[in-house]
Homo-oligomer: A and B are copies of this chain.
């Protein structure tokens, strides 16, 4: 494989588009795959050097990045599996890793290394995604690093991000606590306030604390329902842990009053 692999990115939205721009700027050959209108715009702004409209075209690149929403990435993976040569490196950006990692194993795609741009870097004006590659579908540590993992890490690095490798189970359990449950709580806080006969009249007067706690509630519902559904087992575990703590703080207060 050449020093700089040819990268195909399927889906030129916020994540795919940023990655395309960063890799093209770093000298990579990037094929962008999306609807014709999106591809034309990406070519015009030089976010990509080549364009295509069919996912299968990605199979001729060295690496394919699936950058559509989670459920779509699963479908794209199945289409890609029909035309992929053995060892084709495939990664994705879905925020739940268990199901896509299992699906890749079932399809015999041994060059699949799941990815997830975990968080934006704060010190840059226009942050590139920072993928936490999440391969190792057998669980546990990924050492020794497979060739496919090395390729994916090199791309992450070239995009200005820091690679961090973990297994899918750890990733999904951690994300339930650090991302998925906070999302559910943000909705619940807003809905609880809006649902109260008295508090509902003052929601718009709420201070920065409440606004900060309900900022996530503005995220797109449909995308999140996908994510929560895909990670339901871990989300349920994390929600149970949270509710237990809330119940405890409630009963604590009751006890103290009775003293």
Which residues of A are in contact with B by a Cβ distance under 8 Å? 118-120, 132, 164, 170, 173-174, 176-179, 181-189, 191-193, 195-196, 198-199, 201-203, 205-210, 212-213, 215-216, 228-229, 232, 235-236, 238-243, 245-247, 249-250, 253-254, 256-257
Residue of B nearest to A256 (CB): B229
* 14 examples of A-B residue contacts, CB within 8 angstroms: A119-B206, A164-B205, A176-B199, A178-B199, A178-B207, A184-B249, A186-B213, A188-B242, A191-B245, A196-B238, A212-B216, A229-B253, A232-B253, A239-B249
Q: Which 7 A-B residue pairs are closest in the complex by CB-CB distance? A: A119-B207, A177-B199, A188-B245, A177-B193, A192-B241, A182-B213, A178-B206
A106 to chain B, nearest CB (A): 20
Given contacts A118-B207, A119-B205, contact A250 B236 (CB under 8 A): yes
Q: Are A247 and B256 in contact (CB under 8 A)?
A: no
Per assembly, the copies of the chain total 2
Partner of A239, one of B119, B206, B246, B257: B246
Partner of A207, one of B120, B205, B213, B246: B120
Given contacts A210-B179, A232-B253, A253-B229, contact A241 B195 (CB under 8 A): yes
Q: Are A119 and B208 in contact (CB under 8 A)?
A: yes
Partner of A249, one of B188, B208, B216: B188
Residues of B within 8 A of A191 (CB): 245
Residues of B within 8 A of A235 (CB): 253
